[in-house]
Amino acid sequence: MTDPLLKVEGLRKSFGGLQALKNVSFALNSKEVIGLIGPNGCGKSTTFNVISGIYPADSGSVKLKGEEILNKKPHEINRLGLSRTFQYTQLWRNLTVIENLLVPPKNQTGAQFVNILRRLKLAKEEEILVEKAYRTLELLEISHVAENYASELSGGQSKLVDIGRVLMSDPTILLLDEPVAGVAGPLAQKIFDQLQKLRKSLGLSIVIIEHNMEFILRKGIDRIYVMNLGEVIAEGTSDEIASMPHVIEAYLGG
Partner 1 sequence: MSAIINTLASDFRLFIETQKAGFHAMAEAYKQMGTSLKEKKQSSNVVSFALQVPFFVLFSPLSAYLKAGEKIVIETYPLGRKNDAFQSRLFLYLLMVTALFIGLQPSPNPTAKLSFINEVVFLIALFAIMAMGLNLQTGLTGLVNFGVIFFVGFGALVTAMAMVKGGMDPWIALLLAVILTAIVGYLLAYPTLNLRSDYFAIVTVVLGEVLRQLLLAEPTFQTKVSGSQNTYIPELPGVFGPFRDSWRSVTGLPYSTFLMIFAVFVAFMVVVISQLIIRSPYGRVLKTIRENEVVTSAYGYDVFKYKAEVLAIGGAIFGLAGALLVWKRQTFVPELLLVTTTFFVWGAFIIGGKGNPRGMVIGAIIITYTQQVVRNISPTNRGSNFFIATLDSIFKFLVVDIGGAIFGEDSWRFVSEFQTGNVIIGLEAFQILIVGLVIILFMRRFEEGVLPELPYIPKKKPNLDKSSIWSNIEQTETSHGGTKE
User: Binding residues for partner 1, how many (CB under 8 A)?
Assistant: 53
- The residue within the footprint of partner 1, chosen from 99, 222, 231, 235 (CB under 8 A), is 99
Q: Does 75 bind partner 1 (CB under 8 A)?
A: yes
- The residue within the footprint of partner 1, chosen from 86, 173, 179, 221 (CB under 8 A), is 86
Question: What whole-number distance in Å separates Cα of residue 238 and Cα of residue 115?
Answer: 50
Q: Does 124 bind partner 1 (CB under 8 A)?
A: no
Q: Does 190 bind partner 1 (CB under 8 A)?
A: no
- The residue within the footprint of partner 1, chosen from 41, 93, 144, 155 (CB under 8 A), is 93
Q: Does 64 bind partner 1 (CB under 8 A)?
A: no
CB of 39 to partner 1, least distance (A): 25
Give phi and psi for 238, each to the nearest 5: -55, -45
Q: Output the CA–CA distances (angstroms, integers) from residue 32 to 3, 94, 211, in the order listed.
A: 13, 35, 20
Q: Output the CA–CA distances (angstroms, integers) from residue 11 to 58, 166, 172, in the order listed.
A: 8, 25, 22
Q: Which residues contact 80 (CB under 8 A, 6 or more apart)?
A: 64, 65, 67, 69
List residues near partner 1 by CB under 8 A: 52, 54, 73-75, 78-79, 83-84, 86, 90-96, 98-99, 102-104, 106, 108-113, 115-117, 122, 125-127, 130-131, 134-135, 138-139, 143, 147, 149, 165, 169, 197-198, 200-203
